[in-house]
Amino acid sequence: MFSTRALGVWRFVHTWTSLLCTAFLFILCMTGLPLIFQDELQAAFPNGPQPAAVSADMPELGLDRIAGIARAAYPRDALRSLFLDDDAPQIFAILAPTIDASNDANHFLTIDAHTGAVLKDSLHPQPGGIDGFLTFVRTLHAELFLALPGDLALAVVALVFLAALVSGLVLYAPFARRASFGTVRNEGSNRLRWLDLHNVLGIVIGAWLLVVGFTGLMNTLSTPLFGLWEITDVAQLLAGYDKLPVVKPQASIQIAVDATLRAVPGSVILSVTMPTHVDGSPLHYVVWTKGASPLTSRLMTPVLVDARTGNVARVAPLPSYLRAVEISRPLHFGDYGGLPLEILWALFDVLALTVLASGLYLWTAKRFSRSKADLVADEAVLVSAE
C-alpha cells in the first residue's frame, strides 16, 4: 500500500536510477550477446590451425612433453605455466624472458595436446579468426577498457541497476492492478502502449534480470577481491618462502598433477604454475584445480606441490567471499546448460534490450515530444491507475 507521495518517490527513484545506467546496460546487453556464443563463434571462425582430429583412444602427450616442446621453441625463455583448454585438446604454454619477469613480458604458445604441434604463437599472430573481436567485446563488457577502475565503475552501475529493478518491481503493482496480467492498453497514446509493454516485459523477465544483475555485480568485484586475497591469505601462505631462491624442479609436472588429483579427488586440472616469485611460490608448483560439475566448474582451488619431492604441501581453498564470486559466474554467463540454454539466454537478453529501449522511449517521449493532447490522455489513464 502506497500513498501518492510514496509512489512519486518510487517513480523518481526508478526513472533516475534507470537513466543513470541505461547507456551502460545497452553496452552490456549488446556485448553480452556475442559472448554468450563465444565458444560456437570461435569454432565457426577459427584463428590458425586447430588441434588434429584423432581417434578417441589416442592418449595425450602429457604435460612434461608439452613443457619440453614449449622450452624447445624458446630455449632462452623460461616456462612459467601451462593452461589446459576446457573445450579443445590443446594447452597454452606461458613463457617469459626470465621466471621472475613481470607478467607484461609474457608470451604464449598454443600446443596440440595429442600431437605436440605448435598451433599458435602470440609473438607471430596469424590474421583472421574471431579471437580479436571477442577479446575486444569481452574487455568492453567486463571492464570498459579501464581495467580496475572499469571494474569498479561497472560495480556501481550494477548497484544502480539493482535499485532500478527493485523500484520497478515496487511500481509494477499500482499500475497493473486495474487490468489482468499482460494487458496492453491501446486507447491512449503510443507512449501508454509502450508503458504497458515495458511493465509487462519487465515483470516477465524480472527474476532473470535480478539474477544476472546480482551475479554481474559479483563478477565486477572479482578483481579487487582476488587482489585482497593475494595480499592477505596468499601472502600469509607464502610467508617464509618469498625470500628463498627459485628451485629447479626435481619432481616432474605429471607427478605434481597426480599428487594434486589424489589430494582433491574429482577435480579437474586447470593450470600448473612453475616455481616462481611472481604469482607463485619459489619452492612449489601451484596446481590450480576446479570442480567438474556445472556448479563447481568455476570454483578453483590452488594446491601447492613441493617441486623437489612432488608431495602436496598445502591445499588452499579459496575464502568464502571468492567462492561466492566463483559460484555466481555460471548464473551470469548461462553457459552451463548446453546450446539451448545459451539460445534462451540470448532471448532473455533481447527482451532486456526491449525493456531498456522502451524505458528510454517513455522518458524521452514524456520529456521532449509529447503533445498536449497526449499529456492529457495519458495523465487521465495514469490517474485512473492511482
Partner 1 sequence: MTMSSKADATSVWRMPLVLAALILLGLFDALLIDNAIARLIAWVLLIVPLGVGFYCFVRGLRPSLDRTRPGL
- How far apart are alpha carbons 341 and 336 in whole angstroms? 8
Q: Name the CA dihedral angle for 83, 84, 90, 92, rounded to a multiple of 10 degrees.
A: 0
Residue 149 vs 266, nearer CB to partner 1: 266
- Which one, 2 or 241, has the nearer CB to partner 1? 2
Q: Nearer Cβ to partner 1, position 125 or 294?
A: 294
In the beta sheet, which residues pair with residue 22?
none
Least spacing, CB of residue 141 vs partner 1, in Å:
20
Q: In what order do the strands lie in the sheet with 90-96?
A: 118-121, 107-112, 90-96, 78-84, 268-273, 284-290, 300-306, 312-315
Q: C-beta of 270: minimal distance to partner 1 in Å?
A: 18
Q: How far is the CB of 200 from partner 1 (least distance, A)?
A: 5
Q: What CA–CA distance (Å, rounded) separates 246 from 370? A: 71
Instruction: List residues near partner 1 by CB under 8 A.
Output: 1-4, 7, 172-174, 176-177, 179-187, 193, 196-197, 200-201, 203-208, 211, 293-295, 330-331, 336-338, 340-341, 344, 347-348, 351, 354, 386
The nearer residue to partner 1, 23 or 184, going by C-beta atoms, is 184
Mode of pairing for the β-strands spanning 312-315 and 300-306: antiparallel
* Nearest residue (CB) to partner 1, 151 versus 196: 196
Residue by residue, what is the 3-state secondary structure of 213-246?
A: HHHHHHHHCHHHHHHHHHHHHHHHHCCCCCCCCC
| Cβ at position 261, least distance to partner 1 in Å | 19
